Amino acid sequence: MKFKPEMLQVYLVIGTANVDYRVDRLLAVVAAAVRLGVTAVQFREKDQSRLTFAEQVQLGRAVHRLTAAQQVPLFVDDNFKLAQAVGAEGLHLGQTDPWPALKQKQQANLMVGLSVHDFTELNQSRSLLPYIDYLGVGPVFATKTKSDAKAPIGTSGLMDMVQQTDLPLVAIGGISERNVWKLKTIPIAGVAVISAITTSSKLATTIRTLKLQGGFHDQ
147 is in an annotated binding site: no
Whether residue 87 is annotated as binding a ligand: the answer is no
Tell me: is residue 173 an annotated ligand-binding position: no
Annotation-wise, does 144 bind a ligand?
yes
Q: Is 143 annotated as a binding residue?
A: yes
- Is residue 165 part of an annotated ligand binding site? no
Helices (H) and strands (E) in the chain, counts: 8, 8
| CB 198, CB 19: distance < 8 Å | yes
Q: Is 61 annotated as a binding residue?
A: no
**DSSP state at residue 186:** S
Measuring CA to CA, which residue among 204, 194, 149 is closest to residue 170? 194
First to last CA, the chain: 19
Q: Are 89 and 75 in contact (CB under 8 A)?
A: yes
Question: Is 195 one of the annotated binding-site residues?
Answer: yes
174 among annotated binding-site residues: yes
- Whether residue 78 is annotated as binding a ligand: the answer is yes
Within 8 A by CB and 6+ apart from 15, the residues are 26, 43, 44, 45, 46, 47, 49, 77
Q: Look at residue 131 and give its three-state secondary structure.
A: helix
Q: Is 47 annotated among the ligand-binding residues?
A: no
Cα distance between residue 19 and residue 29, in whole Å: 9
155 is in an annotated binding site: no
Contacts of residue 16, Cβ cutoff 8 Å, sequence gap at least 6: 22, 23, 26, 45, 49, 50, 51, 59
Annotated binding site: 42-46, 77-78, 97, 115, 143-146, 174, 194-195
Annotated binding site for Mg(2+): 78, 97
